[in-house]
Chain A
Amino acid sequence: MVEFLVFLCVIFPVLAGGAAFLDRSNALKKRLVTVTGGVLTLASIALALRGGGSIPFSSALAGAMSTPIHVLDLALLCLIAYIGWRRSHRLILTLAAVQLAGMFVLGSYLHPEVAAEAPAFTVDSLSLTLVLVVSIIGSLIAYYAIGYMAEHERHLHLVRTKQPRFFAIILVFLGAMNGLAMADNLSWIYFFWEVTTLCSYLLIAHDDTEIANTNAERALWMNMAGGVAFVLALLWLQSVQGTLSLTALQAMARSGAKEAAFLLPVVALCIAGFTKSAQAPFQSWLCGAMVAPTPVSALLHSSTMVKAGVYLVLRLAPLSLGTTVSTMIAVCGAFTFLVMAALAAGQSNGKKILAYSTISNLGLIIACAGINTPAAIAAGMLLLVFHAISKGLLFLCVGAIEQKIGSRDIEDMRGLFQVMPKTALVTAFGIVSMMLPPFGMLLAKWMALESSVEASAMPVLVVTLALGSALTVLFWGRWAGILIGSLNPRLELAPETQEATMGFAVRSLTIGAAVISFFAPLLYLWLVEPAVQAMFADVSSLSFNGWYGGVGNRYGIFAVYPLYLLIALGFWYAWNETKKHAVSGPELPYMSGVQAAQNGTIGFIGPMKGFVEAKGGNYYLDAFFGEGRLIRPTNYIALALFVMLLGGVLQ
């Protein structure tokens, strides 16, 4: 049964993707995407309800996948090398060649023999978390893309539709992500890893403009650099430890094999994870990736693919438990969290704000993985889930906004409430769910802060986390504020219609963000706690437990249910009072007595009795948080931290 469900999660979307690619007439597209989405959702939930399991190499599924994976792996690298050659990008070509050589050595000289009873797929709570995120949120975003891409191509006036290719890549990507989450053998994980890299490249370059191609190349080479680290780790593990199985490695770590030879490949894998999650100094590829159509940004570059990196780091956390390496990982993550929040505060481009805040949150997850206590890992997992929901939602909203107003600059979103009342409200809700209690993100952040007190590099972590959190409130708060603003003196709301698939996806994610936050304690008990228990032999008193409808540990209690209900009641009351109030009619703001309204805009009577429109702008604090000021020092410091991370191996 588990085998069939894994088949549905991994292979089925790939087959559907193949069908979508062949479907040149576009007739079946909607049905294919919907059915695949439904199948993935149901299969992942069924898998979660069964509580996972393990599939050995001797099973029919794994047996059938073994040879194709080896062949496709090499084919994939050849394809990437070809891309590098075609685009005459020497770096990509070199990196692909190095990986090809590495894989060749691994296959021909080291002969990674796997025992038939060794697990090919291990489905535990940690992988289930990622599988659920990918399958459910990923499917919703793919569904959204149906409506979005039709509109997108209308905008571009394409002669020949590129949608079959687009949806094929999206579906294949979903399968690969699920495979990555569940595979146990590192060489398989590597294969799925490279598939997502290639998908990302193809999707960023989808619009085939010059900037899209440049940015796609950058994304490709940075991820390939991570791939090289991955291959090196594979070679080292196979030749020194003699195994590529995560389960086996975890057992070795438990028996206390934490010498330098064991930690070195772990560090290499973490660096691969850092590139995938666009941690400093690799942040530039993710920001460049924002040129892709919005569903791609939502799917690959915020809710799922970049999560692969942090998933790997979380997965490897027990291997470095209690070492300097772990501490350094925490410091790297916390550093990224802080700097990226600062960069986000200096941006007015909505998608870039989302990109930087994504990197920032991924940094927080990595910091949690590095703190490496049961509480911190739990915080990291909750962050992974809630960030995927809220950020996916925000991206979808920004996509819809961009199609309507033709801009992704938040300054152009002033008074959006009057143009697109529903979307503006949903976006504001998404923002609030990122930064205010009682939503899940805050629960997770609370856990992260509380667990940081126990961390080994505690003073450094605490300062960065405190400053980073404050910056987060800064850039989210002002965005939410200008969204709900009204430029029009008389509040006339435009009726808003939304394409059916886009509306469905946005609604689902909105409800999801609200409901899942409410059931966060259940989610914790059901998914997070088993994962943490599996990771730590000894779950000490530090771990959180569900208590009084909340989550608590010996540090304190975050009472979710009472808090949620109180705030919801307060909000409901305020909302009703406001509705009663609105009748008395709006007036003009204070403008020193010369206020005026013209053509639905607010302004004042200026000199020569002319009407002057009042315009506001946010402080972006370029002198503090501008890209020009921060990027260079960030890269240097991040590289220095990498050196220290490597140095941690010798400890």
Chain B
Amino acid sequence: MKFDLQQWINTGRLKSPWVAHYDCGSCNGCDIEVLACLTPVYDVERFGIINVGNPKQADVLLVSGTVNPRNRVVLKNLYDQMQHPKAVIALGACGLNGGIFQEAYNVVGGVDKVIPVDVYVPGCPPKPEAIIDAVVVALGKIKEQLEKADRGQAVNG
């Protein structure tokens, strides 16, 4: 019975990724594309994806833009407040490695300089389809984590 419940929970985890979106200093190009996903044209709710404003209730963190010394703390805090299991998606060229700003004096670099990133979505900006695909891939990552956990390892240490 307990095993069954665990399996149900795993099913639920894969079917209900709640997304929190943090803009680290993007030019808003990526953010517009994220918003596009929520419109009826792309209708991400079909996959159970909901955009929540609260990292404490989110499963997936979407980060766009370059990380700088001011917001790296915020990014880390938001990530820490998410409950396990969780995944992070870095959006766009800036999120990946700082993009065209990577040489700037106030840029730390990509998102993965601060928190572990599971999925990278290139593009300037990425297409909405790519973002939706990234969430699906992130779910695969969560599934991997869960399988690892089933084999007795800690969940996403």
Instruction: List chain B residues, Cβ under 8 A from A587.
Output: 81
Shortest distance from the beta carbon of A138 to any chain B beta carbon, whole Å: 50
Instruction: List chain B residues, Cβ under 8 A from A594.
Output: 73-74, 77
- Expressed in whole angstroms, the Cα–Cα distance for A587 and B84 within the complex equals 14
Instruction: List chain B residues, Cβ under 8 A from A593.
Output: 22, 55, 73-75, 77-78, 81
Q: Using A590-B56, A593-B55 as known contacts, say yes or no to A605 and B73 having CB atoms under 8 A apart.
A: yes
A590 touches B74 (CB 8 A): no
Instruction: List CB contacts (< 8 Å) of A501-545 with chain B.
Output: none
- Expressed in whole angstroms, the Cα–Cα distance for A592 and B20 within the complex equals 12
Size bracket, chain A contacts? under 10
- Expressed in whole angstroms, the Cα–Cα distance for A588 and B78 within the complex equals 11
A250 within 8 Å of B by Cβ? Answer: no
**Secondary structure type dominating chain B contacts:** helix
**Secondary structure type dominating chain A contacts:** loop
- Expressed in whole angstroms, the Cα–Cα distance for A76 and B23 within the complex equals 78
Shortest distance from the beta carbon of A396 to any chain B beta carbon, whole Å: 39
Q: B31-74 toward A: CB 8 Å interface, digit per residue (1/0)?
A: 00000000000000000000000111000000000000000011
Shortest distance from the beta carbon of B25 to any chain A beta carbon, whole Å: 13
Q: Which chain A residue has the least Cβ–Cβ distance from B83?
A: A587
Instruction: List CB contacts (< 8 Å) of A590-628 with chain B.
Output: 590, 592-595, 605
Selected from B22, B54, B75, the residue in CB contact (under 8 A) with A590 is B54
- Expressed in whole angstroms, the Cα–Cα distance for A282 and B81 within the complex equals 54
- Expressed in whole angstroms, the Cα–Cα distance for A595 and B75 within the complex equals 12
Q: B77-103 toward A: CB 8 Å interface, digit per residue (1/0)?
A: 110010000000000000000000000
Number of chain B residues whose Cβ lies closer than 8 Å to a Cβ of chain A: 10
Q: A42-77 toward B: CB 8 Å interface, digit per residue (1/0)?
A: 000000000000000000000000000000000000
- Expressed in whole angstroms, the Cα–Cα distance for A196 and B81 within the complex equals 60
- Expressed in whole angstroms, the Cα–Cα distance for A53 and B77 within the complex equals 73
Q: Which chain B residue has the least Cβ–Cβ distance from A596?
A: B77
- Expressed in whole angstroms, the Cα–Cα distance for A515 and B74 within the complex equals 51
Instruction: List chain B residues, Cβ under 8 A from A590.
Output: 54-56, 81
Q: B6-22 toward A: CB 8 Å interface, digit per residue (1/0)?
A: 00000000000000001
- Expressed in whole angstroms, the Cα–Cα distance for A595 and B74 within the complex equals 9
Instruction: List chain B residues, Cβ under 8 A from A592.
Output: 74
Instruction: List chain A residues, Cβ under 8 A from B54.
Output: 590
- Expressed in whole angstroms, the Cα–Cα distance for A195 and B18 within the complex equals 69
- Expressed in whole angstroms, the Cα–Cα distance for A594 and B78 within the complex equals 8
Instruction: List CB contacts (< 8 Å) of A575-599 with chain B.
Output: 587-588, 590, 592-595
Q: Which chain A residue has the least Cβ–Cβ distance from B76?
A: A593
Q: Which chain B residue has the least Cβ–Cβ distance from A593?
A: B74
Instruction: List chain B residues, Cβ under 8 A from A588.
Output: 81
Q: Which chain B residue has the least Cβ–Cβ distance from A588?
A: B81
Q: A552-596 toward B: CB 8 Å interface, digit per residue (1/0)?
A: 000000000000000000000000000000000001101011110
Instruction: List chain A residues, Cβ under 8 A from B74.
Output: 592-594
Shortest distance from the beta carbon of A610 to any chain B beta carbon, whole Å: 14
Shortest distance from the beta carbon of B85 to any chain A beta carbon, whole Å: 16
- Expressed in whole angstroms, the Cα–Cα distance for A592 and B56 within the complex equals 11
- Expressed in whole angstroms, the Cα–Cα distance for A593 and B77 within the complex equals 5
Shortest distance from the beta carbon of B143 to any chain A beta carbon, whole Å: 24
Instruction: List chain B residues, Cβ under 8 A from A605.
Output: 73
- Expressed in whole angstroms, the Cα–Cα distance for A595 and B56 within the complex equals 13
Instruction: List chain A residues, Cβ under 8 A from B73.
Output: 593-594, 605
- Expressed in whole angstroms, the Cα–Cα distance for A290 and B109 within the complex equals 63
Shortest distance from the beta carbon of B72 to any chain A beta carbon, whole Å: 11
Shortest distance from the beta carbon of A585 to any chain B beta carbon, whole Å: 13
Q: Which chain B residue has the least Cβ–Cβ distance from A591?
A: B77
- Expressed in whole angstroms, the Cα–Cα distance for A594 and B74 within the complex equals 6
Q: Which chain B residue has the least Cβ–Cβ distance from A587?
A: B81
Apart from A593-B22, A593-B73, A594-B77, what are 5 other A-B pairs with CB-CB below 8 Å? A587-B81, A590-B81, A593-B55, A593-B74, A594-B73
Write 15 A-B pairs (CB below 8 A) sorted by A numbering.
A587-B81, A590-B55, A590-B56, A590-B81, A592-B74, A593-B22, A593-B73, A593-B74, A593-B75, A593-B78, A593-B81, A594-B74, A595-B77, A595-B81, A605-B73
Q: Which residues of A contact B (CB under 8 A)?
A: 587-588, 590, 592-595, 605
**Across chains A and B, which 5 residue pairs bring their CB atoms closest together, nearest first?**
A593-B74, A593-B78, A593-B77, A590-B56, A590-B54
